[in-house]
Amino acid sequence: LFRSLKYLPVVESGLNPVAKSHAGARGLWQFMYATAKHQGLRIDSYIDERRDPVRSTEAACRYLTRLHDIYGDWFLALAAYNAGPGNVNRAIRRSGGKQNFWEIRFFLPQETRNYVPAFMAVVYLMEFHQEHNIYPIDNAPPFAFLDTVHVDEVIRFDQMAPLMDLDESELAHLNPMYRMNIVPATVEDRKSTRLNSSHQIISY
């Protein structure tokens, strides 16, 4: 199951890094503000690292590992990821101390009851899509074709894009963590922006 956790953002956000839930969760992994801050993610007027695919994935791995350490079971860890540890602990108490997701399932909130089955369905679909003649038709650029530019000064996307032979919208698509299309970088607070490596790498 551990190897299959890479598919969890499909359930959470449909792999949309700017996804927003009605409850206020953001990003690929749908972190709430308090949870994201507790995991060390930066959220301010310029940057929301819940929308950073790399930083949010690192935070999600830490959080899921912590939940697994608490419950010793990946299904319970997933339930706690969705509903919060408080709801899982309450369900365990109401079930008479059962430590199995399927035995406490109907003591959990409705959304969480279906969360683990939905995850299992996504894992099956991603692993066996070819058997059902399902194939990707719009592939994102491979990671090997992406590179990093280090920025030491505040700079806007509309200033960078012409230098990189990119549209501003393409730059924004590759860097969803920047909320105002501005990189608020300084020497002390160096940030990075991704671009297609077939273009020149600009360093500041």
Catalytic choice (12, 111, 131, 168):
12
19 CB neighbour count, 10 Å cutoff = 19
- HEC readout, the chain: CHHHHHHHHHHHHCCCCCCECCCCCECCCCECHHHHHHCCCCECCCEEHHHCHHHHHHHHHHHHHHHHHHHCCHHHHHHHHHHCHHHHHHHHHHCCCCCCHHHHHHHCCHHHHHHHHHHHHHHHHHHHHHHHCCCCCCCCCCHHHEEEEEECCCEEHHHHHHHHCCCHHHHHHHCCCECCCEECCCCCCCEEEEEECCCCCCCC
Residue 12 known to be catalytic: yes
* Tokens 């077939």, located at residue: 198
User: Interhelix angle for 85-94 vs 53-71, to 10°?
Assistant: 20
162 CB neighbour count, 10 Å cutoff = 10
- List, by residue number, the catalytic residues: 12
